């Protein structure tokens, strides 16, 4: 029974994460098989832009909540923290909408983004709210409530998408409506069940909310900027392929490749979601940390992600009619990409537990700068870039980022061991 109780958080959080992320990628892959490459390119661009905008709205608050809203926090502190976070997110979303309106009317934005932006903004807003509520539940280790909210919403949205496919609907909105509904249902469930007293507290006048919001924002801003840089690196290839106006098949291929790479990372992301809060508790309580287990996790994660991405790339052309089989060069490069992403993501989580926010920002800034240099090189080369050229650039950027993260994580481990020994 004790072993079952110990493993239940992994199962509950794993199923909740897999149900949400799994549905997101089922919707994408299903849309790729139902629609032409240019329609799927619009879908994938909308998803990528909404993800980046959601991080702009949340300012890194979910990761800050993971540290501050730990299990055992008083209800009053949780109410105050949630009130401050929601006030920041709401204000940021209003500002983002105003900036988007100004940008569309006053700036020469590519036609593709003029179509995508009205779809991406509402999705970004509810993604931001979902990130806040899910992270607060994760930090409090309420994994059973996360499981119910995520699995129930995912099942309903999957049925809706399947019904649209059976009835022969094939357009952007066949994907968009279930995708938006997924976020809304999760937010509503967690609002009503898990955070009812907290949300009610938001609408009460409270002199400390503004002060608390400024304090949280001050600690989250550097992490938020670094996460935006990280998100730009993750989704930049898709947005770049859409922006340069090349062949629709290139944007479609890049979108599917990045989707498969992200799917390959889900098992390790699931494990991190349970392990990082425990690592934070261990560091806060000055308990002993097994660095051998951390290194074993990194090695096992690298092998698992490499195997999953290669299997996915082999099977993908059988599911999408307009997609040609990938060559060995693409498969090798994608293996490098997912292993580097896994190492960078896990190392970033460990650095977050050690409260090395400035280190995370420095690494992501350096990696984003390298990415901009690669983009300039692709544009200077002349002509729309090919799928292989974009994947090569992504592999080089991710490899450098992972190398920097690993250097910093070993330095953090050595520093803690030296501090513990003194």
> pLDDT by residue (tens digit) across 188-229?
888 776 555 555 555 554 555 555 566 666 666 766 777 777
Query: What pLDDT does residue 42 have?
Result: 85
Q: 289 near 279, Cβ under 8 Å? A: yes
Query: What pLDDT does residue 280 have?
Result: 65
Query: What pLDDT does residue 178 have?
Result: 94
Cα 300 to Cα 243: distance, rounded to the nearest angstrom: 37
Query: What pLDDT does residue 11 have?
Result: 74
Q: 224 near 58, Cβ under 8 Å? A: yes
Cα 183 to Cα 147: distance, rounded to the nearest angstrom: 14
Q: 227 near 60, Cβ under 8 Å? A: yes
Number of separate domains in the chain: 1
Nearest to 21 by CA among 9, 29, 33: 29
Task: For residue 185, give Cα distances in angstroms to 11, 116, 129, 180, 190.
Answer: 22, 23, 11, 9, 9
Element (H, E) at 113: helix 111-139
HSE-up (13 A, CA, CB side) for residue 392: 10
- Region of residue 19 (phi > 0: left; psi between -120 and 50: alpha; otherwise: beta): alpha
- The whole domain housing 408 covers 2-421
Query: What pLDDT does residue 156 have?
Result: 94
Cα 223 to Cα 55: distance, rounded to the nearest angstrom: 10
Angle at 349 between CA 64 and CA 25, to 5 degrees: 95
Query: What pLDDT does residue 183 have?
Result: 93
Query: What pLDDT does residue 402 have?
Result: 87
Query: What pLDDT does residue 352 have?
Result: 75
> pLDDT by residue (tens digit) across 122-172?
898 889 888 888 877 776 677 788 888 888 999 999 999 999 888 877 788
Query: What pLDDT does residue 371 have?
Result: 81
Burial 336-359 (b: 16+ CB within 10 A, else e): bbbbbbbbbbbbbbbbbbbebbeb
Cα 153 to Cα 183: distance, rounded to the nearest angstrom: 8
Q: How much is the pTM? A: 0.77
Tokens at 183, concatenated: 């976020």
Ranges of the chain whose pLDDT falls below 50: 71, 205
């Amino acid at each position: 029974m004790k072993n079952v109780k110990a493993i239940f958080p992994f199962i509950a959080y794993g199923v909740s994460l897999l149900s949400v992320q799994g549905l997101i990628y089922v919707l994408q892959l299903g849309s790729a098989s139902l629609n032409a490459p240019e329609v799927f390119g619009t879908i994938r661009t909308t998803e990528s832009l909404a993800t980046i905008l959601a991080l702009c709205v949340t300012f890194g608050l979910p990761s800050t909540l993971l540290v501050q809203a730990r299990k055992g926090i008083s209800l009053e502190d949780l109410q105050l923290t949630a009130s401050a976070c929601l006030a920041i997110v709401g204000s940021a979303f209003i500002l983002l909408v105003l900036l988007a309106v100004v940008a569309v009317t006053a700036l020469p934005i590519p036609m593709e983004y003029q179509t995508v932006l009205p779809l991406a903004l509402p999705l970004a807003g509810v993604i931001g709210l979902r990130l806040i509520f899910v992270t607060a539940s994760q930090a409090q280790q309420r994994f059973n409530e996360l499981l119910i909210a995520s699995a129930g919403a995912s099942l309903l949205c999957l049925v809706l998408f399947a019904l649209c496919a059976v009835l022969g609907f094939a357009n952007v909105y066949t994907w968009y409506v279930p995708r938006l509904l997924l976020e809304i249902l999760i937010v509503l469930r967690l609002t009503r069940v898990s955070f009812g007293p907290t949300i009610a507290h938001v609408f009460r006048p409270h002199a400390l909310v503004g002060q608390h919001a400024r304090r949280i924002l001050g600690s989250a801003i550097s992490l938020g900027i670094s996460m935006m840089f990280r998100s730009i690196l993750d989704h930049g290839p898709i947005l770049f392929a859409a922006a340069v106006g090349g062949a629709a098949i290139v944007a479609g291929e890049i979108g599917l490749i990045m989707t498969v790479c992200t799917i390959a990372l889900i098992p390790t992301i699931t494990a991190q979601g349970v392990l990082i809060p425990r690592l934070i508790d261990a560091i806060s309580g000055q308990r002993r940390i097994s660095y051998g287990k951390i290194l074993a996790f990194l090695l096992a994660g690298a092998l698992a992600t490499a195997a999953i991405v290669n299997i996915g790339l082999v099977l993908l052309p059988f599911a999408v009619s307009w997609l040609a089989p990938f060559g060995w060069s693409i498969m090798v490069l994608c293996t490098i990409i997912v292993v580097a992403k896994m190492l960078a993501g896990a190392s970033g989580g460990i650095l977050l537990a050690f409260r090395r926010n400035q280190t995370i920002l420095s690494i992501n800034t350096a990696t984003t700068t390298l990415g901009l240099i690669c983009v300039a090189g692709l544009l200077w080369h002349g002509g729309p870039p090919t799928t292989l050229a974009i994947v090569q650039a992504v592999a080089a950027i991710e490899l450098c980022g992972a190398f920097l993260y690993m250097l910093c994580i070993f330095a953090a481990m050595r520093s803690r061991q030296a501090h513990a020994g003194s």
